[in-house]
Amino acid sequence: MGATQVVLYFDRQEDALLFTLAASSALAADEPVRANEAMAKIAREICKANRITTEGVLNPASAAAGIAIGGKCA
């Protein structure tokens, strides 16, 4: 079972807005190419979060795999 809620905290309102726009683009993308571009934008914007919290149950194995695949934020 995955987390039931994930909350991202940003220091700047502009960063929160840019993340929201990137996430909206990914949800609305109707072509795989556009979806990949949108996911890249999400990755760039999520790196600006200063804190991320979750509620619910996390699967540690999948979380570790995500770090190995996703790499580090610059």
H/E stretch holding 53 reads: strand 51-56
pTM score of the predicted model: 0.57
- The region that residue 3 occupies, defined by phi over 0 for left and psi between -120 and 50 for alpha, beta otherwise, is beta
Residue with tokens 């072509």: 31
Q: Over the stretch 16-72, which tens digit does the pLDDT of each residue have? A: 998 888 888 877 877 777 778 888 888 888 888 888 887 776 566 655 554 444 455
Residues in CB range of 6: below 8 A, 6 or more apart: 52, 53, 54
The CA-based dihedral angle spanning residues 72, 55, 13, 50, taken in that order and rounded to the nearest 10 degrees: -40
pLDDT of residue 68: 42
Decide which of 12 and 70 is more confident. 12
Q: Please state the domain extents for the chain.
A: 3-70
